[in-house]
Amino acid sequence: GIQVEQSPPDLILQEGANSTLRCNFSDSVNNLQWFHQNPWGQLINLFYIPSGTKQNGRLSATTVATERYSLLYISSSQTTDSGVYFCAVAINDYKLSFGAGTTVTVRA
């Protein structure tokens, strides 16, 4: 099956800092989603971005499908940004394969 690698595995930030999370995948995809899992376990949809660039407030994402990677940018981080960020992809069907996640801790 498709391989999904996220980096870094852990990230500690000071409040106000910017950061970039990366997701590499091993095959062409028709679905790529970024999620934030909050401390209660709820997965929050951040972006549906199989290709291109999108922005939503302090978050933005870019997927370069031809080079098989996606980046999630967090600007001016806040303590509420803490949690685990997952990248998930699908090839030719609806089944998502998740990366291992990046655990982000934002310190006040």
Partner 1 sequence: GAVVSQHPSWVICKSGTSVKIECRSLDFQATTMFWYRQFPKQSLMLMATSNEGSKATYEQGVEKDKFLINHASLTLSTLTVTSAHPEDSSFYICSASGQNSYEQYFGPGTRLTVT
Q: What is the contact surface with partner 1 in residues (CB under 8 A)? A: 30-31, 33, 35, 40-43, 45, 48, 50, 86, 88, 90, 94-101
Nearer residue to partner 1 within complex by CB, 65 or 90: 90
Q: How far apart are CA 33 and CA 14, in angstroms?
A: 26
CB of 90 to partner 1, least distance (A): 6
CB of 65 to partner 1, least distance (A): 14
